[in-house]
A and B are shown apart, each in its own frame.
Chain A
Amino acid sequence: MGAAIAANGLSKRYRIGELQSSYGTLRESLTRVAKQIARGPHRPHHEEIWALRDVSFEVPEGQVLGVIGRNGAGKSTLLKVLTRITTPTAGRAEIRGRVGSLLEVGTGFHPELTGRENVFLNGSVLGMKRKEIARKLDEIVEFAGVQRFIDTPVKRYSSGMYVRLAFAVAAHLEPEILLVDEVLAVGDAEFQRRCLGRMQEFGQSGRTVLFVSHNMQAISRLCERTMLLGDGQIERDGRSADVVAHYLQSGQGGGSFREWTEDDPAWSDGTVELRWARVVQDGRTSETADVRRPIGIELAFDVLDDTYAVFPKIKVNSNEGEIVFNAMDTDPRWHEATPGSYLSTAWIPANLLNEGLFTVDPAVTSLGSGKLRPHAGERQAVSFHVYDPGEGDSARGNFVGGLRGTVRPLLDWTTEER
């Protein structure tokens, strides 16, 4: 058995400008060039970052390899390089076998086309032959459970149906090597379960799978081996249980539960100690949260001394690194310094956040002059995915396309006839 993937010194450099402004105008470029000429050629005119730096690894045929790491660690870039969407700046990789990727289900779906037509479109974009798709069409449609609507344009689909059909196509792709990026971020629990099941079968049938995820539970369950990326480099590579444990303990923001111990405490000025934080929905710790129900952020902490009147606070960040909001507990009980052990839960209302990954920075602070004075806290201690099952009762209604924005409140609309 040889290696299905052999990467050697893969590196990818981005110029910061490229990452930040996705497009410019010719005029901006011309003025930039003019400025450079005026300044002389010596000055470096771009800040560069290495999204991947000297990444070497081998994946034997038939292995299911997990890839984890915090946002911006280079996971997605690695997949993009391996799927040839972008070329590396240096290094090489050899890939044996047909590669299929589930970078995003539904890629290439056209809203005006019917379900059947989109199966053909999507299938051939993913690299299937027309004959192959025709042969599997019935199976795909049945798997998705959209038999009745197969000749309806997909723009009339509910988002649940849309995602199911898209996933069904991807799941029937039969590559030797499957690259999966965070498919579990979409769809309901049932869909995620099926998705995981399908990947497990892939692994068991001797195919090679590279699975990128923030879902530590899924990683530990599906992958025998896991690679931890940090700042574009391989930080750790080994048995999933070990790597995941290391990752969670190092507090790199994986998962919905974070516990701090004496060996691994959160930052503190000595007056407050954080114990643990977790994301809860419906009474359980959840990596994924239904957009239609409140999401609780629990923070357990000990107040050790009575110098400051402290109170808990959370900061919620979007996957793009924007601050979605800061929220603190304004209850009068915190007006006086009261040492003791506390468990506070901040309830994020239902139908507030948009779909996507969010990280939470919990902290315990007191009122300072002009700004909050932190006493203990950790950045990106816990994270959760918000998903919308697409049953028409969220702010999405029956719309299936992308809805931009960090928040997506379900507003009260009033309309009168004039």
Chain B
Amino acid sequence: MTETEVKARRAAERAPVAERPSRQAPTFVIRPAPRWPHLDFAELLHYRELLGTFVWRDIKVRYKQTFLGVAWALLVPVFTAAVYVVVFGKFAKFPSGLKPYPLLVFAGLLPMQCFSSALNGSSVSLVANSALVTKVYFPRVLLPLAAVLVPVVDFALGMLVLVGLMVKYRNWPKFPEFFLAPAFVLLALVTALGAGFLLSALNTRYRDVPYAIPVFMQVLPFVSAVPYALNEVPLKWQWILSINPISTVVTGWRWCVIGGAPPNPQMALLSVGVALLLLLGGLAFFRASEPRFADTI
């Protein structure tokens, strides 16, 4: 090939580079990390599409190359619930507070597992995406945030089973409480996000996090009123359990969806307070460690 031919071929195959936009280019300043962490909302707004992309990606690849696929979203809570029903319902005779035990357990397990996978996902989100974290800039909070939103899909699918159980036991949600149900799911997600901020940032430095979480998760259902109704335990214990926001999530969700006993408003407030504290504390810790993620991950 002659040189002109090469040139012609090059010209033919390359895509045109568009003219430089004439609008005034935005200026940003790079400076050392600020002493006090803060959240840049304008920037988050700018990157909202990327948040959507991360959620979409994680949902898309969630059950790729599995034989049962999305069915896992139903099988996991159903199997877990079956174990609970046999062990705690039949053998240990846990108090079910006037509701059929399988319904009570399944209604409790759904938000519990949503929280559990949200926490799992968000706490490993930075390390799982370390190729991105060390190569491209974007607000890092997007990663735990996206990871928290992903399990909502499984949660919605699990609702199908819950509806089936409702039909079987002829147990219908009460109105207007039903419309409050999303608020309790939100509380679960806020709690998961707060803990996720904290743990994902810790995980960039200390890979102990993935080992510690399962231990914690084994205990959590029992201190979150999943295999029993919260109002059936002594009052003192109810207060202690309410420090854990998930106990309010489970109780409140049951109240809205299967018409269980309502949560005690003061205890619910305590739970919400703890969740918000966790969110703010987790976020502050996350933002404070953020400048060093790429260096330590």
Contacts and interface: CB of A to CB of B under 8 A. Distances in A.
Given A89-B32, A121-B57, A124-B49, A172 B15 contact: yes
B13 to A, nearest CB: 8
B44 to A, nearest CB: 14
Given A24-B206, A25-B208, A92-B31, A86 B295 contact: yes
A95 interface: yes
Contacts of B297: 22-23
B53 A125 contact: yes
Contacts of A84: 30, 137
Interface stretch (B128-136, B151-159, B178-186, B252-260): B128-136
Interface string B275-297: 00000000000000001101111
B74 interface: no
Nearest to A117: B60
Contact of B206 (A23, A82, A95): A23
B57 A94 contact: no
The 3 closest A-B pairs by CB, nearest first: A97-B25, A87-B291, A84-B137
B274 interface: no
B50 A124 contact: yes
Contact of B25 (A83, A92, A98, A101): A98
Contacts of B204: 23
Given A22-B296, A25-B206, A125-B50, A88 B30 contact: yes
Interface in B103-150: 129, 131-138
B240 interface: no
A93 B15 contact: no
B206 A197 contact: no
A205 B135 CA distance: 26
Contacts of B2: none
A192 B31 CA distance: 34
A25 B207 contact: yes
- Most chain B CB neighbours (cut-off 10 Å) among A23, A95, A96, A172: A23
A205 B19 contact: yes
7 contacts: A24-B205, A80-B294, A94-B30, A108-B136, A112-B60, A112-B61, A194-B13
A206 B21 CA distance: 10
A147 interface: no
B130 to A, nearest CB: 9
A135 to B, nearest CB: 11
Interface of A: 10, 14, 18, 22-27, 29, 80-98, 101, 103-104, 107-108, 110, 112-113, 117, 120-121, 124-127, 129-130, 139, 142-143, 171-172, 174, 176, 194, 197-198, 201-202, 205-207
Contacts of B4: none
Contacts of A201: 14, 17
Contacts of A101: 135-136
Nearest to B291: A87
Given A25-B207, A82-B30, A121-B53, 19 more contacts: A22-B297, A23-B207, A23-B296, A23-B297, A25-B206, A80-B294, A84-B137, A86-B292, A86-B294, A87-B32, A91-B32, A94-B27, A107-B131, A112-B64, A124-B53, A125-B136, A143-B13, A171-B15, A176-B25
B218 interface: no
Contacts of A113: 57, 60-61
Interface string B16-36: 011111000111111111000
B28 A176 contact: no
* Chain A contact surface mostly: mixed
A129 B49 contact: yes
A87 B30 contact: yes
A143 B132 contact: no
Contacts of B133: 85
Contacts of A103: 135-136
A117 B54 CA distance: 12
A59 B99 CA distance: 71
B61 A110 contact: yes
Contacts of A197: 10, 14
A80 B297 CA distance: 14
A255 to B, nearest CB: 24
B207 A95 contact: no
Contacts of A108: 129, 131-132, 135-136
Contacts of A23: 204-207, 296-297
A172 to B, nearest CB: 7
B266 interface: no
B136 A85 contact: yes
Interface in B200-257: 204-208
Nearest to A136: B15
B55 to A, nearest CB: 12
A18 B204 CA distance: 12
Contacts of A112: 60-61, 64-65
A281 to B, nearest CB: 21
B32 A95 contact: no
A249 B10 CA distance: 34
Contacts of B29: 92-95
B17 A174 contact: yes
A89 B31 CA distance: 8
Contact of B33 (A14, A87, A176, A206): A87
B110 to A, nearest CB: 27
Contacts of A139: 15
A93 B30 contact: yes
B135 A90 contact: no
B28 A85 contact: no
B136 A107 contact: yes
A275 B222 CA distance: 77
A403 B187 CA distance: 43
Most chain A CB within a 10 A radius of its CB, from B20, B21, B29? B20
B59 to A, nearest CB: 11
A22 B296 CA distance: 6
A201 B17 CA distance: 7
A95 B28 CA distance: 5
A155 to B, nearest CB: 9
A103 B296 CA distance: 18
Contacts of B19: 205
From B17, B18, B129, B292, residue with most partner A Cβ within 10 Å: B17
Contact of A92 (B30, B53, B60, B65): B30
Nearest to A10: B30
A90 to B, nearest CB: 6
A356 B32 CA distance: 32
